[in-house]
Amino acid sequence: ALMTTTEVENYPGFRNGITGPELMDEMREQALRFGADLRMEDGDAVDLTGPVKSVTVDGETFQARSVILAMGAAARHLGVPGEDT
């Protein structure tokens, strides 16, 4: 997961590397600069067919020509001794 990556060394445009959280911030800022409407919500339904896509959240449907879905990630713990240290 990018959020916990300490160094990304192979991403174009960052010759000296960048941390995962910094890269996420850069991507977010670029998306906003180009007019993206960022929603940090859980979608109930998506329809990605046709030229206009739709995402439904809490009964409200949003439509756009492009949709970026960021599913997120979470670590899976094994429950072994010393795992969290």
What pLDDT is recorded for position 85?
A: 65
Residue 57 lies in a domain: yes
pTM of the predicted model as reported, rounded to 2 decimal places = 0.67
Sheet containing 53-57: order of strands: 45-47, 53-57, 60-64
Any domain includes 5: yes
| Segments forming the whole domain that contains residue 62 | 40-70
Amino acid at 22: E
Angstrom distance (rounded) from CA 29 to CA 35: 10
Pair 82, 10: CB distance under 8 Å: no
pLDDT score, position 78: 87
pLDDT given for residue 83 in this prediction: 80
Q: Looking at the structure, do residues 31 and 45 belong to the same domain, yes or no?
A: no
In tens digits, what is the pLDDT along the chain, a chain of 85 residues?
677 788 999 889 999 999 999 999 999 999 999 999 888 888 999 999 999 999 999 999 999 999 988 887 777 788 898 887 6
- Whole-angstrom Cα distance, residue 20 to residue 9? 10
- 18 occurs within a structural domain: yes
